Amino acid sequence: MNKQRVLLNFQVAVEAVVNNLFRSILTALGIIFGVAAVIAMLAIGKGAQEEILEQIELVGANNIEIVPLAEDEEKTDEEEQEEEKKFSPGLSLKDATAIEAALPNALLISPEITRKKYAVRKSVRKSVNLIGINNSFFDAYHFAIRSGTKFHQTHLANGSAVCVIGRAVEIHFFSGESAVGKKLKCGDVWLTVVGVIERIGITDEAKQNLGIRDYNNDVYIPIQTMLIRFGDESVSSKSVTFMGGMMWSSSSSSEKADPHQLSRLTIQMHQTGMLPNARDIIHKILERRHNRVVDFEVKVPELLLKQQQKTNDIFNIVLGCIAGISLVVGGIGIMNIMLASVYERIKEIGIRMSLGATEKDIILQFLLEAVIISLFGGIIGVILGLVLSSTISSITDIKTIVSISSVLLSFGVSASVGLIFGLMPARKAAKQDPITSLRYE
Q: Domain segments of the chain: what residues? A: 3-55+307-439, 70-294
Q: Is 260 helix (H, G, I), strand (E, B) or coil?
A: coil
Dist CA 114 CA 220 (whole Å):
9
For residue 12, the model assigns a pLDDT of: 77
CB under 8 Å to 66, separation ≥6 — which residues? 91, 95, 264, 265, 266, 267, 282, 286, 296, 297, 298, 299
Q: Is 429 helix (H, G, I), strand (E, B) or coil?
A: helix
Asked which of 74-83, 173-182, 375-384 is least confident by mean pLDDT, the reply is 74-83
Dist CA 348 CA 20 (whole Å):
15
In this predicted structure, the answer to whether residue 290 has a pLDDT above a threshold of 80 is: yes
**Considering only CA atoms, which of 59, 96, 72 is closest in space to residue 262?**
96
Dist CA 91 CA 394 (whole Å):
44
Dist CA 67 CA 267 (whole Å):
12
What values do phi and psi take at 119, rounded to 5?
-100, 140
For residue 54, the model assigns a pLDDT of: 65
Asked which of 168-182, 199-213, 312-326 is least confident by mean pLDDT, the reply is 199-213
Dist CA 237 CA 362 (whole Å):
96
- pLDDT tens, position by position, 380-412: 988 998 999 889 888 887 778 888 887 888 778
